Amino acid sequence: MGCLLFFIMENIITVLTSRGLVEDITNPNLNDVVNEPITVYAGFDPTADSLQVGNLVTVMALAHFQRCGHKVIALAGGATGMIGDPSGKSDERVLLDQEQIEVNVTGIKENLSRFLDFENETAPALIVNNYDWLQKFSFIDFLRDVGKSFRVGSMLGKESVRARLESDAGMSFTEFSYQLLQAYDFLHLYDAEKCVLQIGGSDQWGNITAGIDLVHKRRGGQTYGLSIPLVLDSSGQKFGKSAGNAVFLTASKTSVYDFYQFFIRTADDKVVELLKIFTFLSLDDIAELEQSLKTAPEQRAAQKKLAEEVTLLVHGENGLRIAKSATDVLFGKSMEGLCAEDLLEVFADVTSTELQSEEVEGATALDLAVAAGLCKSKGQARRLIESGGLYVNNNRVPNLERVIEADDIIDSKLVVLRSGKRNFHLVKV
């Protein structure tokens, strides 16, 4: 049996390495260990009710594990989220209440369900919440059973702790204890699910090794850790922020259009790396796209493929369809042939204003822009029009006298205002 599996299973470490998803592993033996199916887990912090594209890196790694025949567990940190992981944070985190965390855990589960197969016959994925086991501990029990196995010296040595102790913000006992909880998670999953590997972002290294040590001390078992490199954008910033806002996987927080566009705007020198990380495209396909980048950069084939693949994975076929038709309308010159309902879907997340029909029909474009709140004042609207930056239904407003006619109101319901290239505002009549 082992032999058979050996031949049909691709070595997951090789796969991940070839896609740039491995920063470091705790023990080189892991290369051989994964030739048999193992159980692997990664934790997700419920700081919001949706994962962000940054989390997607870890999710993709988990998905690769599952595709290679391993059993994967996604751990939602319902309990640890209440404590706050100090790793990579310069300030003490504001504690979330339990109610909020439950909401967040639910949202995260929803996100994960798109990537992991929970129905798989041989190795269905599992979602667990560490609140389920950590919540049962009394403080005394925890200190006796878990705390006893930790040395303060090595806890103090962790990067996440050291950085904070040296900063002005300092660190509370609560956050200091965080690594014990995450370490205990590993022990619990080792016992309950025979989980022998934890993966996570490189900032999780200290927490992962703490878990490995704990399993070794308490059970004498050998476990492993694998860290994934932090993805940065071309300006060296943490990946996944767009104009200061995080890009979320949940459509209500980041529209499918914005999500799609985030990937479309990937810089040339970054797109190959992202294709490897965020899609399941073969390396051959990616090499082809890389070639097209050199021969026909203006086609942006690689960016388009990246955006399509990721949007499809996260938002499904319908999400991708909406994102693409939104892109057509928002970048295309004409909106002809689209009815008000199509437009409402396309502009679902665009700010909109409801006005009475007598405020719209017969009004000048200038007045409408102000009434809708697109421009703060008439002066601003006037300047916008004079510089040719205001559009009604994707047609430039030629002069200050332009009046909104009945024809401009699509299906007697909608007028689409736009300032500049992509700043849209919907007027509902």
Q: Which is nearer to RNA, 92 or 308 (CB)?
A: 308
Q: Which is nearer to RNA, 166 or 298 (CB)?
A: 298
Dist. CA 212–CA 215, nearest whole Å = 5
Query: Which tokens in the block code for residue 21?
Result: 């998803």
**CA 302 vs CA 53, 265, 271, 323: distances in Å:** 18, 11, 7, 17
Query: Among 264, 312, 363, 371, which residue sits at the site for RNA (rule: CB under 7 A)?
Result: 264
Of the CA atoms within 13 Å of residue 113, those in its CB half-sphere come to: 9
Query: Among 364, 380, 394, 395, which residue sits at the site for RNA (rule: CB under 7 A)?
Result: 380
Alpha carbon 357 to chain centroid distance?
41
Contacts of 354 (CB under 8 A, 6+ apart): 427, 428, 429
Stretch that binds RNA, among 77-85, 155-163, 194-202, 416-424 (CB under 7 A): 416-424
**Would you count residue 423 as binding RNA (CB under 7 A)?**
yes
Site mask for RNA (CB under 7 A), range 54-93, x = bound: ----------------------------------------
Which ranges of 241-350 does DSSP label H, i.e. alpha helix?
256-264, 268-278, 283-295, 301-331, 340-346
Which one, of 339, 404, 375, 328, lies nearest residue 395 by Cα? 404
Query: Among 95, 267, 339, 406, which residue sits at the site for RNA (rule: CB under 7 A)?
Result: 267
**Would you count residue 144 as binding RNA (CB under 7 A)?**
no
Burial group, residue 3, by CB count within 10 angstroms (0-12, 13-18, 19+):
exposed
Q: Which of residues 329-358 bind RNA (CB under 7 A)?
A: 331
Which residues face 226 on adjacent strands? 25, 199
Q: Say which amino acid occupies 178.
A: Y
Stretch that binds RNA, among 56-64, 119-127, 129-137, 262-270 (CB under 7 A): 262-270
CB of 321 to RNA, least distance (A): 14
CB of 36 to RNA, least distance (A): 44
Stretch that binds RNA, among 30-38, 75-83, 132-140, 376-384 (CB under 7 A): 376-384
Query: Among 157, 170, 362, 388, which residue sits at the site for RNA (rule: CB under 7 A)?
Result: 388
User: E strand or H helix at 82, and its extent?
Assistant: helix 80-83
**Would you count residue 387 as binding RNA (CB under 7 A)?**
yes
**Would you count residue 421 as binding RNA (CB under 7 A)?**
yes
CB of 354 to RNA, least distance (A): 21
Dist. CA 83–CA 173, nearest whole Å = 10
Query: Among 99, 237, 377, 407, which residue sits at the site for RNA (rule: CB under 7 A)?
Result: 377
Dist. CA 56–CA 101, nearest whole Å = 20
**Would you count residue 114 as binding RNA (CB under 7 A)?**
no
Stretch that binds RNA, among 97-105, 150-158, 260-268, 350-358 (CB under 7 A): 260-268
Local structure of 376: helix, strand or coil = coil
**Would you count residue 298 as binding RNA (CB under 7 A)?**
yes
Query: Among 185, 419, 425, 426, which residue sits at the site for RNA (rule: CB under 7 A)?
Result: 419
**Would you count residue 6 as binding RNA (CB under 7 A)?**
no
Q: Which is nearer to RNA, 238 or 383 (CB)?
A: 383
Which residues face 41 on adjacent strands? 73, 198
* Number of residues near RNA (by CB under 7 A): 27
CB of 299 to RNA, least distance (A): 8
User: E strand or H helix at 367, and its extent?
Assistant: helix 365-372
Burial group, residue 428, by CB count within 10 angstroms (0-12, 13-18, 19+):
middle
Query: Among 355, 389, 395, 428, which residue sits at the site for RNA (rule: CB under 7 A)?
Result: 389
Residues that bind RNA (CB under 7 A): 261, 264-265, 267-268, 297-298, 300, 303, 327, 331, 370, 376-380, 382-384, 387-389, 419-421, 423
